[in-house]
Amino acid sequence: MTAIGIEDAKVIIVGGSSGMGLALARRLLDEGASVMIAGRSRDRLAAAHLGGHPKLATYVVDISREEEVAALFRESGPVDHIVSTAADIKGAYQLLPSIELAAAQRVVESKFYGPLLLAKYGAARLPPSGSITFTSGVAAYRPAARGSVVAAVNAALEGLVRALAVELAPIRVNAISPGWVDTPIWSLVAGDAKQATLEAMAQRLPAGRVGHPEDIADAIRFLIGNGFTTGTILHVEGGHRLV
């Protein structure tokens, strides 16, 4: 079976104003898709470097708020694919005695409840050939000290993906599981030590480097376009699970 074409398809990317989501938006626009990037920050959406592309639209939404997600899909009309790379992990990487519940709740809201709501309201807008792609992460498989909340939420999201793939069939539901990727989120995790931290990991990985946003965009593009892949977690992590 041939891959599903993306030209003239309509794709919503939540988290599309930076990092992996932005790289995917560029990729899909170059292929002729109509893309709506969505996120909480109007300023970040406006600052996304996509050159005022005629097939680009933006939408301000907090996916942890049900009424805002419902409004997003009322505004969008029919769509072909939904992608979320959104994550709010600010303050979440802490040792257990220092974890604040509010920080943990933000992770759950952005990486579990948000995807759940996107599926709840977005599925009715998708054709049978459509897809939903979420973003998990290697922390579910290689947890580390300070990362208990993120590891747990990634694992929960992957369970949700498998269940939704059954419930929403033939709509395809998958997740991408990135390893360490050089994106702005690392400034929150490691602060001034970002570059040294990433370089140390690069030396450990079988691939010999950390990921780039374009690596993840390529993998999500595969999940969007392969009509025989559903309920799958696609690992793009440079061999991190092996070391």
Q: What pLDDT, in 10s, does the model give residues 74-88? A: 999 999 999 999 999
Q: Answer yes or no: are the C-beta atoms of 135 and 20 closer than 8 Å.
A: yes
Q: In the prediction, which pLDDT does 1 show?
A: 46
Q: In the prediction, which pLDDT does 189 show?
A: 72
Burial class (CB in 10 A: 0-12, 13-18, 19+), 222: middle
Domain 10-242 CATH class label: alpha beta
- 147 token code pair: 């990362």
Percent of the chain with pLDDT over 90: 88
* Dist. CA 179–CA 202, nearest whole Å: 11
Q: In the prediction, which pLDDT does 58 show?
A: 95
pLDDT band at 2 (very low <50, low <70, confident <90, very high): low
Amino acid at 226: N
Q: Does pLDDT of 235 surpass 70?
A: yes
Tell me the CB-side half-sphere exposure of residue 161, using CA atoms within 13 A: 28
Q: Answer yes or no: are the C-beta atoms of 38 and 61 closer than 8 Å.
A: yes
* Dist. CA 108–CA 242, nearest whole Å: 27
Q: Does pLDDT of 124 surpass 50?
A: yes
Q: Does pLDDT of 38 surpass 90?
A: yes
Tell me the average pLDDT across 114-121: 98
- What distance lies between CA 135 and its chain's CA centroid? 4
- 66 token code pair: 């049900």
Provide the 3-class DSSP secondary structure of residue 218. Answer: helix
- What distance lies between CA 233 and its chain's CA centroid? 12
- DSSP type of residue 140: G
* Dist. CA 47–CA 196, nearest whole Å: 27
Q: CA geometry: angle at 158 spanning 153 and 163, to 5°?
A: 125
Q: What is the pLDDT of residues 96-113, one digit of tens each?
A: 999 999 999 999 999 999
Tell me the average pLDDT across 149-169: 98
Alpha helices in 61-147, H assignment, sequence order: 66-76, 101-108, 114-122
Taking alpha carbons only, the member of 209, 96, 186 closest to residue 137 is: 186
